[in-house]
Amino acid sequence: LLFDEANVEVDVPGHPWVQLDLTRGDAMARLVLLDATAERVVVLILERLGVELKAENSKILAVSQAQVMRKMPDAKFSNVREESSNGFEGLRCDATGTFNGRANTHAVVWCTNTSGYIYQVIVISDQASAIANDRINHEFRARLRQIDPSRVAHAENVKTISKYTSEKFGYSVDLSQ
């Protein structure tokens, strides 16, 4: 599955994964997969940010955590660490809390800023599946490939590099700190 605007291709897995209709889901997600047998969801979020904004992975992770908190307001984040996958250098963390009213939920959040393109992979299931969620997050990241590794995303109409607001996804980040 090609996402040319984000310079990434995804090798979408087959059974038991089913691609969900995005017209009723989260506006930020570009791909949502459900494994109904394990009650697990994989969410892929893509954005073209631009290298001019110099958003480090730590800032992108903070944005990812804020996005998780929209659905899991009591989220507790832990186990932040650097993880590479398929040429992408990123950060990952665990989140636990109540997701859409469902207690004891666990998520693995991974994100990267690569040449001005933001990629986020989030795996969500129950707390008892934490080890499997980590493995599946890693496996899904291995399915991401840049279409053109030499392509660089540029921010439009950037005058000063301090604060960035994504009108499309409804978040702000202060890049000057």
What's this model's pTM, rounded to 2 decimal places? Answer: 0.86
Tell me how far the alpha carbon of residue 170 is from its chain's centroid: 15
Is the predicted pLDDT of residue 15 greater than 80, yes or no? yes
Average pLDDT value for the chain: 90
Give the three-state DSSP class for 168. Answer: coil
pLDDT digits (tens, 9 = 90+) for 41-64: 999 999 999 999 888 999 999 999
In sequence order, what are the residues at sequence separation of 6 or more whose Cβ sits closer than 8 angstroms to the Cβ of residue 170? none
Contact 111, 58 (CB under 8 A): no
Q: Report how far residue 46's alpha carbon sits from residue 3's, in angstroms, rounded to the nearest whole number.
A: 9
Q: Report how far residue 53's alpha carbon sits from residue 74's, in angstroms, rounded to the nearest whole number.
A: 30
pLDDT digits (tens, 9 = 90+) for 145-173: 999 999 999 988 765 556 767 776 677 77
pLDDT digits (tens, 9 = 90+) for 114-145: 999 999 999 999 999 999 999 999 999 999 99
